[in-house]
Amino acid sequence: MPTPFVHSFDPVAVSLGPLQIRWYGLMYVLGFTASYFLVRYQIRRRQFAELEMHFENLNLVLILSVILGGRLGYVLFYNPAYYFRHPLEILATWEGGMSFHGACLLLIVSGWLFCRKYGIDFWKGADIYVATFPIGLGLGRIGNFINGELFGRPTDVPWGVIFTDGGPVARHPSQLYEALLEGLLLFALLWSVKARPWEQRSGWPHGSIFALFLIGYGVLRMVVELFREPDPQIGFLFGLVTMGQSLSLIMVAGGLFLWMFRVRKEKNRGGAPVAASRRKRP
């Protein structure tokens, strides 16, 4: 039996006196940067003038929503009792503790309010943005792996990893599973199903990619949770599922509802937004 890999990565990428730049933070920066340039390219390719006009301001709103929503989501969903006793530690984001479900919820709310205020087609914009989200998700999970957090359950597979906070047993590197599934696979799925997210196929109303993202992420997250160690302060809800699986199930249900809602609304309008025969070719 091969010797398990022992996790020994330093979460600090660079130290400049008292200032520490952590890999986890760098992954967020890389994710935001990649999404910024890819979305900007899509907007210009699509000639989405009303969104391009407010692009910089919307990006700032969305970045703040990711950070604030991710942190508050973790506080409320995963450890409310602890943070109620230590409220100042809510600000200690550098210590870890972010929830994608919380970030996603605030992204949707803030994005919808922004689009409504400035007369932007929310569904069209959401399709463009969510197609880039897996980049940040994948990079974020790599950051989790470097931090040695959110590790998996004990295992005897050859690629098991011994984490400092996980005891002397080898565990599933569930962070890397998530990077591959929620990052690479979901990115490929969103882009391959529609060929290019900024070009609508016949029968696919605006909002379809958004719905597919919610469904795809939710399903893949529920699968990975089978290998991930449950949060110790929560364990299994009702003795059956983890908090991540519960939130992801709601996400899948929301995606299915959104899909049916958008398709039905488009049918009531009398057709698809852009027929395949009329699409511009790059």
Which amino acid is residue 255, in one-letter code? G
pLDDT at residue 198, as a whole number: 42
pLDDT at residue 172, as a whole number: 98
pLDDT at residue 1, as a whole number: 62
pLDDT at residue 239, as a whole number: 86
For the whole model, what pTM was predicted?
A: 0.89
Is there a contact between 131 and 78 (Cβ–Cβ < 8 Å)?
Answer: no
pLDDT at residue 282, as a whole number: 42
d(CA 44, CA 52): 7
d(CA 224, CA 218): 10
pLDDT at residue 279, as a whole number: 46
Walking along the chain (282 residues) 10 residues at a time, the average pLDDT comes out as 88 90 93 95 90 96 95 93 91 81 97 97 95 96 94 96 95 98 95 59 79 97 96 88 96 96 80 44 41
pLDDT at residue 280, as a whole number: 44
pLDDT at residue 204, as a whole number: 77
pLDDT at residue 278, as a whole number: 41
d(CA 215, CA 208): 11
- Look at strands 12-16 and 161-162 and give their pairing: unpaired
pLDDT at residue 92, as a whole number: 80
Q: Is 166 helix (H, G, I), strand (E, B) or coil?
A: helix
Burial of 171 (0-12, 13-18, 19+ CB in 10 A): buried
d(CA 184, CA 142): 12
Q: What is the dihedral of CA 248, 254, 259, 264, to 10 degrees?
A: 160
pLDDT at residue 281, as a whole number: 40
